Each structure stands twice: as C-alpha cells, then as structure tokens.
Amino acid sequence: MSLRLGDVAPNFKAKTSEGEIDFYEYLGDSWGVLFSHPADYTPVCTTELGRVASLKQEFDKRNVKVIALSVDSAESHQGWIQDINETQDVEVNFPLIADENRKVAEAYDMIHPNASATVTVRSVFVIAPDKTIKLIITYPASTGRNFQELLRVIDSLQLTANYSVSTPADWKDGDEVVISPSIKNEDIPAKFPKGHVEVKPYLRLTPQPNK
C-alpha cells in the first residue's frame, strides 16, 4: 500500500555508508529528507548526491537531516561516494542506506513495476519532526531533482506549520503569504500586525510573519 501525505513515515533499521542506524533515532527532533536512487554509479544520481552535499549547510540551517537510499551494498556505496567526491568536488556528508533486501524500498513504495521491477524509482520524502510525511515527489530517471525547489518547499512547510498561512504560487522565503480562510477579518490585526491586503474576500495577503 502506498504512503500518502499525513501518514506516519515507517521506521526501519538499516546498514548505511556511516554504519547501522535506526531511522527515527537518526532524525531525532529534526525534519528529514529521504531520497532514493535506482542504483549506485548512476550518472544523474551522482550529480544529485553531490548537490545535496554542497547544500548541507542550507539543510542544517533548517534543522533538516538528509539521508539517501540505494538497493546496493554499503561497500558499493563507499566506492560510489569516492567517485561523487571526485567528480562533484564535494565531500558526501550524509548517510547512504544500503537496502539490498529492499525492505525500506517496499515500505516506502519506492519500486514501481512499470519503471523497473527490481530497483527504486527516484522518490523524495519530506518528514516532519512528528514523523508524518509532508511531501512526496517522484521523478523520472531522465530528470535530475531540483534541490533548491526542495529547500523552498521545506521553507513553506516550516512556515505554514507555525502560522495560519499558506504560500502562493512561486512563493519564496520573504514573499507575501496567504492568510488562512479560517481566520476572520476582525482577527487579522492581532494575528498579523504587519497589515494585510484583501484582493478578494477569500484571497488576503500579508507579509511573511516570521520575517
């Protein structure tokens, strides 16, 4: 059965490039990003893992721990990491799960028979501190993932988790946000003292409240 937004992310224990982990213990009170790869030594994923390593400080700023997964062994991961570091001019600074028995892949529905019956598709899961799944994206093998977009979504998820707002199309950190329809007009000044603009009764904008 496939996972859906709001479901509790399955916990697991697994070997990784940095030793054995318990997933929940690894995440602790942080947000998490779990992203899968079809196999080691694949070209697009080599660039992706390098990009994530280069953005480690950005994930750290947002209290996000990243972890990758492939169905190859931890020993294979170590060789691939050397290639990633060499070709992408980085130091991979997060664990790669060795999911040889595909238990994690099956728990997270990462194997899609129409794409491949044996390897994981390129999925991304964003997991909140309460271990619920807040975002699921699956990419085709030919398209590299946009990790700046992932950071943008995490900014939105963290903002909207703490304030009664949503983020509009193409929003980025610092832009105006949409006031929740559940907030009455008379309650807006107290909740959003920076002011607001009523475009329509159902579309009310306010400056980002945590800026």
Residues identified as active-site: 45
Checking 182-191 for CB contacts under 8 A at 24+ apart, the result is: 191/164
Cβ partners under 8 Å of residue 163, min gap 6:
177, 209, 210
The torsion defined by the Cα of 161, 172, 44 and 12, in degrees rounded to 10, comes to -10
The CA R_g of the chain, rounded to the nearest whole Å, is 19
Q: Supply φ then ψ for residue 153, to 5 degrees.
A: -65, -40
- Identify whether the C-beta of residue 142 lies closer than 8 Å to the C-beta of residue 115: no
The CA-atom distances, in angstroms, between 25 and each of 20, 28, 123, 184 are 11, 5, 22, 41
- b/e for 36-55, b at 16 or more Cβ within 10 A? bbbebebebbbebbbbbbeb
The CA-atom distances, in angstroms, between 76 and each of 20, 118, 155 are 15, 17, 34
| Rounded CA separation 167/180 (Å) | 10
